Structure 1
Amino acid sequence: MTSPPQRSMLWLMRYILPVKWRMAGLLALLLLTTAMQLANPQMVQHFIDTAAGGGPVSRLLGLASAYLAIAVCTQLTSVAVSYLGNDVAWRATNQLRADLLRHCLGLDMRFHNLRTPGEMMERIDGDVTHMSNFFAMFIVQMFGSAVLLAGILGLMFAQNVPIAAIMTAFTLLSLAAMVRIRDVGVAASQAERQANAALFGLIEERIAGIEDVQTSGAVPHVMNRFHRAMRHVFQTGRRAWMMRVIPWNVTVVLYAMAVTGVLMMGIHLYLTRGATLGTLYLFYQYTQMLNDPIEQLGNQLQDYQRAKSGMRRSLELLSMRSEIEEGQRTDLPEGPLGVAFEHVHFSYQPGEPVLHDIHFELRPGERLGIVGRTGSGKSSISRLLLRLYNLDSGVIRLGGVDIRELRLDTLYERVGMVTQDVQLFDGTLRDNLTLFNPGVPEAEILAVVDRLGLRPLLDRLPEGLDTRLAAGGSSLSAGEAQLVALTRVFLTKPSLVILDEPSSRLDPATEATLQTAIDHLLEHCTGIVIAHRLSTLAKVDKILVLGQGRMLEFGDRAALADDPASHFAALLRKDRLEVWA
């Protein structure tokens, strides 16, 4: 059984392997840069010693030219390293973002109900962004820094063993300290990411409800919540930064001690003629250079701590499993599908039942109207039919098959749903009607548009089907958006259509147009219509009346309407009185 660190590394390898050749190129460039960094101080040493010894000008010019050439090449390779590093980072992290988004889209509604969209954006993008430098440079720069350290120490041992020994002791102590305290800031960084997620969730939630915030005078309250969230972000961020810089502070102290020792020994050697002026410069320059890879390792450890907190949160998200277990059956009868609820019990929260012992049967091609007060459980029935939640007990059958045995894509192919809140995407009208499926023929789209009454909208749009719609449907009226949703469902040729209060926000004239479209839509499939307005249910075959999650009655519409003692008849009488009033 693998340990958590091993699982993390195995998980990371999934994203590193596809970019392994780019990382190999990145490593080669870093090694070339390292070689040039080691060569430049040697050039300066020879230049100083040649000038101090009265050497020929031609040699000085040659050394200066070589130094400039190496400096230019070093700068060019640094640019190439930066470019390739960012390329590697984005390729790896974009794949991770896609995997996280795909995984979240497959999780059940209980998961999404507990998290705001702002928080999920931070989990999918923010956490991964903090891992990008890890993917791009951590492994390569760790190796490059190790090679640079080894090269500097090797060259120093060739020049002077005591000074090299001091530098080696500084290096080993710095590395040991960083390894010892490498995880000191991980927990704090994780708390920082969570605070940011909470802040983004607050902002998203309040912006989504901007109308209610403004009209209810809640702006001061929102700002108070915002300032408190920002204070928490600042406090957690400050603590995380302080914990992350501990390794860097340790190396600064050790470096100051090492530089002091090397300079004192170097000056002593120069004064006693044990070293030339150029060699003294070489000692100083290599000591300076020695700090760069160690400081870089310290910075990488800070990135590592941020990345590790992101890894933990990403792994935590990927480890979550949907409570909806997908079946394997793909076979359903052709044509309209029958629906049967067999003693169904359901609750969103344990101990708080929403539906109690719901049982009814709808034959293929029939239309069912569901009525009841707000909170009676009407919409819960539609959500259960689409397996957005699991039942507490009981069975739901579609075409005689328990829906738990079906693959989800099979279920969604045969069941269409239209709600009062239509989701329109940033794309053309064609894209929104076909859900970005380019395989739907234009003639078929236009035929459905004409049949469902969407032609006036099409004629009004400047580019017809290729007119771009604003995200959220702000460029359409509520009625037009509902017609788009009906047309979208019609094009999928469903066997069961669920209409969840599609006309609740429409005026009577628009509702009449929509009702005509609904009649066309339900001609060749089974239909379930959830409605507050009883006029929407004029052509259904069966009626189900719900009250506080229980079946008050179920039967033929005509029979219930003619029975003065029925709940449905009472609702009809009340509806007529409200209309006349």
Structure 2
Amino acid sequence: MPPKSSLSMSWMLQYLRPVKGRMALLLLLLLATTALQLVNPLIVQRFIDRANESGALSGLLTLAGLYLAIAVLIQLFTISVVYLGNDVSWRATNRIRGGLLKHALRLDMKFHNVKTPGEMIERIDGDVTHMSNFFALFIAKIVGSFVLLAGILVYMFFYDWPIAAVMTAFTVASICVMYAIRDMGVNASQAERQASAALFGLIEERIAGIEDVQANGGVPRLMNRYHRAMRKVFLTGRRAWMLRVMPWNVTVVLFTVAVTAVLLLSVRQYLNGHITLGTLFLFFQYTQMLNEPIEQLGDQMQEFQKAKSGMRRTRELLSLRSEIKEGQEEWLPEGPLSVSFEGVSFGYNEDHRVLHDVSFELKPGERLGLVGRTGSGKSSISRLLLRLYNSDRGVIRIGGTDIRNLSLPALYRRVGMVTQDVQLFDGTLRDNLTLFNPNLTDEEILRTTEQLGLRSWIDAMPAGLDSRLSSGGSSLSAGEAQLFALTRVFLTKPSLIILDEPSSRLDAATEAALQTAVDQLLAQCTGIVIAHRLSTLDNVDKIMVLRQGRIAEFGSREALASDPTSEYGRLLITNREEELA
């Protein structure tokens, strides 16, 4: 098995391949900058020696002009390197962000149920941002630093090998130390990222529940939890930083020793007349320049440690696999689809089973009303039909096909669902109704909204379908948001529709208008309606009463409604008594 470092490098290179042309240009610019950096001290050496020898003014001005021209070129190349490096960084890291988001969206609900949106934002964006500097300049700066080091040392060996030997010893010692402790701060940086993700998760969770927090006096407790989480971020961040800067601290000590030794040797040779004043400056300047690539290597080693912690967490997320295994079948019969459950059992965890040996069948075009107390398993049936979870045992068929054999796109093209929690996005009314599907025409949208009683509200908007909604739907009432969700599903023309409490957020008048439209639309497909309001189920064909995850009753609605001893019959009687009370 290859070492982890090689795996990290190969994983990183796959995101750099699409920008390899820019990387090559970046390396060329760095090499050109390095060459110019080596030339300028030589110009200063000649300038000092000529000035010391009372050389011609024209020659000194020429050298000064050449020095300034090269200095300007170095600055221009440096700006280009920074710009190109950031361009490479964002192109590469945006590919990672896109890949992470796509992968996370494909993971099953068991994963998303234990991850807060705040934590996922930090995993997808925060971890990757810490890798951006690494992607931007790590390879280029490492290559440029080694080229600059090699150029200085080779040149110095031609001038004075004892001084060159001191500089080489400093360089080798610094690189060896940095390599030996290159991973010292990785684990601590990983802990820092985890603490930061937990903090973001806490903030997101509490802001989402701000009404409950304020109404129940939870602000002091929330602030206490925030301070504890922030303290953990601070402590883990401080420890990670201290470990990451360790290579730099060591190189500072080594550089101090190297500079002292070089200066002592250079001054001694100058006093003995072996070198000129300009050469003395050249030795000092090259020693100073020698520290720059060493510092860059130290900085990049810190970036490497931060990036490696982000890489570990990113690859950890990418290594997760959904328990939902996609099938290969794409075909389902035209028109309304049949539904059958055959001995289906299911639980969200091993210790608590929600459904027990559930079996029933719906013919194409039939409508089923699901009734039961909270926690009886009604919503679990809808989630299993959409393969948001896998059943623990049994077979679920749609259109006669085991849903495990269907591809997910084939399933979602034919099955639609309206949940109790309506998600609205920052965009136009059209985008929210079509979920950004450009193939749906305005005529189709308006016709469907008219059936659902939403047309008049859209016509009253200043820009019609082009009017913008704010994220979260704060500009809509609860009833309007529910109608939006219904319209969104019906526009897809599904063959099986699941309505989870479709009238839970509607007033009586709106519910009555909605029921007429729903009846018209359900005439073209099979329907499953989950409801607490029994009036919602007046036009269904069959009723299933669930109790503690088991079918307590299943049969024709008319037969059960006319039988006062049935579960459904007793619920209707109780409901009428409550309305009269």
The one-letter code matched in structure 2 to 1:58 is S
Aligned equivalent of 1:440: 440
Aligned equivalent of 2:137: 137
Q: Distance in 2 between matches of 1:355 and 1:569?
A: 23
CA deviation string 1:344-372 (max 9, x = no partner): 10000102100111111111101100011
The answer to whether 1:554 aligns with 2:554 is yes
Q: Distance in 2 between matches of 1:396 and 1:254?
A: 70
In the TM superposition, what is the alpha-carbon distance from 1:316 to its structure 2 partner?
0.5
Aligned equivalent of 2:369: 369
Q: Distance in 1 between matches of 2:520 and 2:3?
A: 59
Aligned equivalent of 2:352: 352
Q: 1:208-219 to 2 correspondence within 5 Å?
A: 208-219=208-219
For normalisation by structure 1, the TM-score amounts to: 0.99
Q: Distance in 2 between matches of 1:204 and 1:484?
A: 25
Q: 1:509-520 to 2 correspondence within 5 Å?
A: 509-520=509-520
Decide whether the 8 Å contact of 2:482 with 2:505 is kept in 1.
Answer: no
Aligned equivalent of 1:118: 118
Unaligned runs of 5+ in 1: none
In the TM superposition, what is the alpha-carbon distance from 1:4 to its structure 2 partner?
2.8
CA deviation string 1:256-285 (max 9, x = no partner): 000000011111111111111111111111
Q: Distance in 1 between matches of 2:112 and 2:27?
A: 42
Q: Distance in 2 between matches of 1:61 and 1:568?
A: 103
Aligned equivalent of 2:17: 17
Aligned equivalent of 2:43: 43
In the TM superposition, what is the alpha-carbon distance from 1:339 to its structure 2 partner?
0.6
Q: Distance in 1 between matches of 2:177 and 2:166?
A: 17
Aligned equivalent of 2:67: 67
Q: 1:137-536 to 2 correspondence within 5 Å?
A: 137-536=137-536
Q: Distance in 1 between matches of 2:378 and 2:17?
A: 50
Q: Structure 1 vs Structure 2: percent identity of aligned residues?
A: 69
Task: Choose 4-13 or 251-260, whichever is displaced more.
Answer: 4-13
In the TM superposition, what is the alpha-carbon distance from 1:11 to its structure 2 partner?
1.6
In the TM superposition, what is the alpha-carbon distance from 1:207 to its structure 2 partner?
0.4
Decide whether the 8 Å contact of 2:371 with 2:532 is kept in 1.
Answer: yes
Decide whether the 8 Å contact of 2:171 with 2:294 is kept in 1.
Answer: yes
In the TM superposition, what is the alpha-carbon distance from 1:520 to its structure 2 partner?
2.2
CA deviation string 1:443-471 (max 9, x = no partner): 22222222222111111111111111111
Q: Distance in 2 between matches of 1:122 and 1:449?
A: 38
Decide whether the 8 Å contact of 2:452 with 2:487 is kept in 1.
Answer: yes
The one-letter code matched in structure 2 to 1:120 is M
Task: Choose 372-381 or 445-454, whichever is displaced more.
Answer: 445-454
Report the RMSD for the aligned CA atoms in angstroms.
0.9
Q: Distance in 2 between matches of 1:193 and 1:417?
A: 37
The one-letter code matched in structure 1 to 2:76 is L
In the TM superposition, what is the alpha-carbon distance from 1:67 to its structure 2 partner?
0.7
Decide whether the 8 Å contact of 2:347 with 2:354 is kept in 1.
Answer: yes
Q: Distance in 2 between matches of 1:544 and 1:557?
A: 9
Q: Distance in 2 between matches of 1:443 and 1:503?
A: 26
Q: Distance in 2 between matches of 1:14 and 1:173?
A: 33
Q: Distance in 1 between matches of 2:40 and 2:320?
A: 53
Matched residues, number:
581
CA deviation string 1:508-552 (max 9, x = no partner): 112112212211221100000000000100100000101111111
Decide whether the 8 Å contact of 1:414 with 1:495 is kept in 2.
Answer: yes
Q: Distance in 2 between matches of 1:228 and 1:181?
A: 31
2:353 aligned counterpart, secondary structure = strand
Decide whether the 8 Å contact of 2:347 with 2:353 is kept in 1.
Answer: yes
Aligned equivalent of 1:570: 570
Decide whether the 8 Å contact of 1:452 with 1:520 is kept in 2.
Answer: no
Q: Distance in 2 between matches of 1:4 and 1:251?
A: 27
Decide whether the 8 Å contact of 2:366 with 2:526 is kept in 1.
Answer: yes
Q: Distance in 2 between matches of 1:366 and 1:481?
A: 27
1:259 aligned counterpart, secondary structure = helix
In the TM superposition, what is the alpha-carbon distance from 1:491 to its structure 2 partner?
1.3
Q: Distance in 2 between matches of 1:531 and 1:346?
A: 21
Decide whether the 8 Å contact of 2:26 with 2:140 is kept in 1.
Answer: yes
CA deviation string 1:306-364 (max 9, x = no partner): 00001111110000000000011111110000111111100001021001111111111
Unaligned runs of 5+ in 2: none
CA deviation string 1:381-404 (max 9, x = no partner): 100000000101011110111110
Q: Distance in 1 between matches of 2:7 and 2:41?
A: 43
